């Protein structure tokens, strides 16, 4: 007699790409989330082995889709710079984010200060920064942590002339600055603040309009501006 073996299909494990929740709590949080992602993508655009993303699910244990975290902004070194629907560490040679930035608020502070902070330390995220754009609970509004022997310690804060607060990111080679309450990335090598494509276009248009007004004033004096 031949014994029959019942075939039980194995249901593949699903790793969702989204949870149906909005990217950010409000417009202010979203604007800085977008600023962080866009400026860092521009900054690293010529490096094929640096991946910049944000509000993307990071799965860090194969077979356990509940082991997931979604940083607002993160940077991973040593992986291909390409589009992804989610980030699975076991498919990326176990590379985890080197830098994380959370745009935090009253409703997210418990996770940002508790669960997420613990997960980032467990994973080995070298730098973890938090920015509170509305100043609801972080004082100062911009703070950074650096991982040392598995524990996070505060990144030194510098106060620049004019009252601007500055924190250095060794991972990025940039400074995170708080200018009149607004978060900005600053490149100390060039002395320039990082801007998005939209901000660059707006500044260029404003400069062109100013030049046109100046040329019109010069013509009123019967002077050809092209001769200057």
Do residues 158 and 144 make contact, with C-beta atoms less than 8 angstroms apart? no
- Tens-digit pLDDT profile for residues 162-204: 999 999 999 999 999 999 999 999 999 999 999 986 765 555 5
> For 158-167, which contacts have Cβ atoms below 8 Å and span 24 or more sequence positions?
165/140, 167/129, 167/142, 167/143
Residue 20 clears pLDDT 50, i.e. is over it: yes
Is pLDDT above 70 for 215?
no
**DSSP structure string for the chain:** -PPP----PPPPPP--S--S--SSSSHHHHHHHHHHHHHHHHHTTT-TTEEEE-S--EE-STT-TTSEE--SEEEEESS-----SSEEGGGTTT---SEEEEE--TTTHHIIIIIHHHHHHHHT-SEEEEE-TT-SS-SSSEEEEEEETTEEEEPPEEE-TTS-EEEEETTTTEEEEEETTEEEEEETTTTEE---HHHHHHHHHHHHHHHHHHHHHHHHTT--GGG-
Write out pLDDT tens, residues 84-118.
Answer: 999 999 999 999 999 999 998 777 776 777 789 99
The whole model's pTM is what? 0.82
Identify the band that residue 16 occupies on the pLDDT scale cut at 50, 70 and 90.
confident
Rg (CA), the chain: 23
Is the confidence at residue 226, as pLDDT, over 90?
A: no
What percentage of the chain carries pLDDT values higher than 90? 64
């Amino acid at each position: 007699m031949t014994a029959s073996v019942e075939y039980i299909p194995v249901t593949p494990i699903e790793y969702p790409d989204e949870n149906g929740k909005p990217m950010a709590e409000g417009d202010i949080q979203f604007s800085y989330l977008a600023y962080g992602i866009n400026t860092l993508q521009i900054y690293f655009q010529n490096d094929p082995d640096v991946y910049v993303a944000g509000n993307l699910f990071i799965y860090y244990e194969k077979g356990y889709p509940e082991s997931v975290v979604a940083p607002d902004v993160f940077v991973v070194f040593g992986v291909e710079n390409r589009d992804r629907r989610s980030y699975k560490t076991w498919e990326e040679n176990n590379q985890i984010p080197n830098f994380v930035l959370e745009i935090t608020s009253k409703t997210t502070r418990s996770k940002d200060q508790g669960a997420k902070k613990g997960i980032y330390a467990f994973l080995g995220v070298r730098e973890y920064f938090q920015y509170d754009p509305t100043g609801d609970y972080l004082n100062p509004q911009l703070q950074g942590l650096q991982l040392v022997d598995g524990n996070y310690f505060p990144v030194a804060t510098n106060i620049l002339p004019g009252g601007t607060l500055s924190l250095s990111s060794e991972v990025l080679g940039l400074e995170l600055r708080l200018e009149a309450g607004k978060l900005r990335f600053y490149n100390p090598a060039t002395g320039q603040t990082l801007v998005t494509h939209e901000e660059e276009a707006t500044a260029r248009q404003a400069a062109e309009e100013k030049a046109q007004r100046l040329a019109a004033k010069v013509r009123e004096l019967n002077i050809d501006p092209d001769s200057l």
